[in-house]
Amino acid sequence: MKRILAHKIEIYPNNKAITYFVMCFGVARFAYNWALQICKKSLADKEKVPSGYDLSKLLNSIKREQYPWMYGVSKWVVQKSLYNLAEAFQRFFKKTSRFPKFKKRGVCRDSFYTGVGCFTVSGNHIKLPNIGWIRMSQGLRFPGKLLSVVISRTAGRFFASIQVEVDDTYVYPHACESQASVGVDLGVKDLVVLSDGQKFSNPKVLRYYERKLKRLQRQLSREQKGSKNRLKAKGILSRLHFRIRNIRRDYIHKLTSYLVENFLLIGIEDLNIAGMMKNHKLAKSISDASFCEIKRQLVYKSLLSGSRVEIVGRFFPSSKQCSVCGFRNENLTLSDRTWCCKDCGVVHDRDINAARNILKVAQGHWETKNACGEGVRLPRLRARGQSLMKQEGGISC
């Protein structure tokens, strides 16, 4: 069984390569918009939306006469854009995404695709069609078969996301050698609280740069549309947004790497982020914390390090339940950071207590000793008729 991994690396193209990249971005954007116009006409005529193969076949029949400049780029640039639109319509018909929109220069994400056999990686260099060798900031980390590469541009910097097919038995060099287990509780004040009492503070990067963001956004709004000063102000603002994202992701990467390298079993709660974002008093803080990104990194890093992640159901009252005796405090509010159990009298820190409950559920059972000294397995807890263990495909390894 094979596993596909992607490694995103910054590249340093020269002026000739940058000119070619910009042309590829424009061709990919034009092909997507052309195909979207065809699909919208089919829907208006109450016809079936053409597939990616049909769109590619139609474009190839008219490309030489109407769009000969498309031959200046690799065939993958156009073909992948058409198949991306077909996949977007499939997600729309399944009601998992919105209706596809036209891509606008300067607003949409600039990227293009190159398929297998059209590029080569050697050390910290990558060879692309029509360009040649380009230096990368680092070498490829994963050994395996090269599948594809996506070249993208963010805040004036270029990146190559390389897909590699590796064996399912591949383990990252920083493998987990511990047998410890931990429960993870996510929050706004403390980003991560562990069941052993460790707390990792929330960097609150967006809050830190909020005043500077407002100033740059006001400056951008004052510039005349279409002027070079507006283009410069937009570049400065985009670079600040890029810096905020990098600081946040760097912190989360270091945090999740620490967890998967030091704990064999990691329990984490399945939070309803969309529902939490409806609270307008906490929406900005929740989005700045990036709970989904923490969960995503834990899941894929656990597969590479040999550890295991268990997802606890979102209806489990981890904060309200006493981790010692199991008493449930129904009167607990969000402002109560500590509370005393009325049954056993233990004073709980709200977040540490929640992490300990998550750990117990993630382990699957509580073990105790009976009169004969034998281990007794207690049944799994249930909350509102739902199972607390929500397994996701490919998480447990």
Burial of 204 from C-beta contacts in 10 A (0-12 / 13-18 / 19+): middle
C-alpha dihedral, 75 to 77 to 80 to 84, nearest 10°: -150
- Number of residues assigned to the chain: 397
Contacts of residue 112, Cβ cutoff 8 Å, sequence gap at least 6: 21, 24, 25, 27, 28, 73, 76, 77, 80, 81, 150, 151
The answer to whether 199 and 351 are in contact (CB under 8 A) is yes
Closest CA to 216 of 200, 228, 233: 233
C-alpha dihedral, 164 to 167 to 168 to 171, nearest 10°: -90
Q: How many helices (H) and strands (E) does the chain have?
A: 10, 18
Judge whether 269 counts as a catalytic residue: yes
C-alpha torsion sign, points 128, 133, 138, 143: positive
What is the DSSP track for 312-371? EPTTS-TTTB-TTT--B-TT--TT-SEEE-TTT--EEEHHHHHHHHHHHHHHSS-EEE-T
Which of 185, 190, 196, 367 is flagged as catalytic?
A: 185
Which of 110, 288, 310, 351 is flagged as catalytic?
A: 351
Q: What are the Cα distances from residue 141, in Å, to 35, 80, 98, 162, 261?
A: 36, 26, 35, 10, 18
DSSP 71: G
Which of 54, 210, 269, 343 is flagged as catalytic?
A: 269
> What gap in Å lies between CA 338 and CA 361, rounded to an integer?
21
How many other CB atoms sit within 10 Å of the CB of residue 114? 23
Largest CA distance in the chain: 88
Judge whether 110 counts as a catalytic residue: no
Judge whether 185 counts as a catalytic residue: yes
**Angle CA 271–272–275, to nearest 5:** 145
What is the DSSP track for 274-289? HHHTT-TTTHHHHHHH
> What gap in Å lies between CA 397 and CA 387, rounded to an integer?
21
Q: Annotated active-site positions, please?
A: 185, 269, 351
